[in-house]
Amino acid sequence: MEDMVKFGGQFVGRRVWLSGHTGFKGSWLSEWLLALGAEVTGFALSPPTEPALFDQLGLAERMRHEVGDVRNREAVADSIITCQPDFVFHLAAQPLVRLSYAEPVETYTTNVMGTVHVLDALRRLENRCGAVFVTTDKCYENREWVHGYREEDPMGGYDPYSSSKGMAELAISAYRRSFFPEHPVQIASARAGNVIGGGDWALDRIVPDCVRALRNGEKICVRDPRATRPWQHVLDPLSGYLCLAAQLYLSPRPELGGGFNFGPGHDANRNVEALVREILKSWSGDWFDQSGQRGLHEARSLQLSTDKAHALLGWSPVWNFTDAVRETICWYRDTLNGVSPAQHRNLTCRQIESYVSRAQDNQASWIS
């Protein structure tokens, strides 16, 4: 525990309000925040999958767990005002591209108005607070460029999910400039790449789909082997969110406002086939190409530039592509036959400790 109190000790005893804590990334962030000594209030719908990492870690018994919908303006405001947070992490979202085609209205109301409701509630806080709003790398107008997108590139999105996140970014920017220049709450947004890691059980995501197929002794179905993405382990963007929040709280500066990309190193910009083949190095099986079947539009190429995060926060990714895939598959394989919440928690915390240890070796800025 002592070794995990990093980020300048900024989270020890602090009140944190976290939306989306029952999701994959939210569960990992909840576990890390608890290890950092924070008092965490989570606000979200019930876990979206079965199984769910939130349940596997037994988080409901170790934090303030509120079941609520970010589309409910009054519920969001009541929760935030009651918490009186020092830090806010807004992760609640409809996070799936393919589902957004089937449920576009729900996607927009959750991702856009849910974000607006959190922003508006923060206007009522009178205490100092660092707030990080998490969107996605898909918020950019994707032109299939070979270079990484920078934070000042235009927002956009072909599909409802991507465009809803672009709209959320515009709302965050408008609120920040309109209502928070002289406010004790400091606001920034965070855009991550394609996040992988143990405990993701969502449908229509490549790693969970691989794990389900491998566990059932089936071939992995790959929709688009040539689609290129910036793959990163979940702990890399989470360290970025924590680093950004800590600096917003500790030393608010105008340049810390706006968006920040938290993507992997260039070696992790691989196509889906490369990801699947890397997975199969750790778990025997096979795959087949289903790209001949006409499907919904999905971007073919997407990369992020992280120069801003490196320059202003001193942040860099810690685990490379091989590390990320190995640690992800290790988590799933170690839970293959079912384990208790305590064992899930120990496995998850060991991976956090391993990540922190590597960051320390790399002299990451947030270690001090």
Q: Tell me: the pLDDT tens digits for 18-28?
A: 999 999 999 99
Token pair 């804590």 in the structure block, residue: 21
Q: Percent of the chain beyond pLDDT 70?
A: 95
Beta carbons of 151 and 312 less than 8 angstroms apart: no
Res. 144: pLDDT tops 90: no
d(CA 261, CA 250): 20
The predicted-structure confidence for 232-291, as pLDDT tens digits, reads as follows: 999 999 999 999 999 999 888 889 989 999 999 888 889 999 999 999 999 999 999 988
Q: How far apart are CA 132 and CA 269, in angstroms?
A: 25
pLDDT tens-digit readout, 190-227: 999 889 999 999 988 999 999 999 999 999 999 889 98
Region of residue 190 (left: phi > 0; alpha: psi -120 to 50; beta: else): beta
d(CA 141, CA 302): 10
SS3 308: helix
Find, among 42, 39, 38, the residue nearest to 22 by Cα. Answer: 42
Count CB neighbours of 282 within 10 A.
Answer: 15
260 or 292, which is more confident?
A: 260
**Helix or strand run (H / E) with residue 328:** helix 321-334
CA distances from 7 to 36, 256, 365 (A): 9, 16, 8
CA 127 – CA 156 distance, rounded (Å): 34
Over residues 81-112, the pLDDT tens digits come to: 999 999 999 999 999 888 999 999 999 999 99
Residue range 43-88, pLDDT digits in tens? 999 999 999 999 999 999 999 999 999 999 999 999 999 999 999 9
Contact 156, 116 (CB under 8 A): no
Beta-bridged to residue 196, according to DSSP, are 233
Compute the distance between CA of residue 52 and CA of residue 172 in angstroms, rounded to an integer.
Answer: 29
Exposure of 238 in the CB half-sphere (CA atoms within 13 A)? 24
Q: Which two tokens stand for residue 56?
A: 């596997």
Exposure string over 334-365, b if 16+ CB within 10 A, otherwise e = bbeeeeeeeebbebbbebbeebbeebeeeebb
Contacts with 173 (C-beta within 8 Å, 6 or more apart), sequence order: 189, 258, 259
Q: Is the pLDDT of residue 316 over 70?
A: yes
Q: Tokens at residue 325, please?
A: 């895939």
- Interior/surface letters 91-115, b for 16+ CB within 10 angstroms, e for the rest: bbbbbbbebbeeebeebbbbbbbbb
Q: How far lies 320's CA from each of 53, 144, 236, in Å?
A: 23, 23, 10
Q: How far apart are CA 272 and CA 270, in angstroms?
A: 7
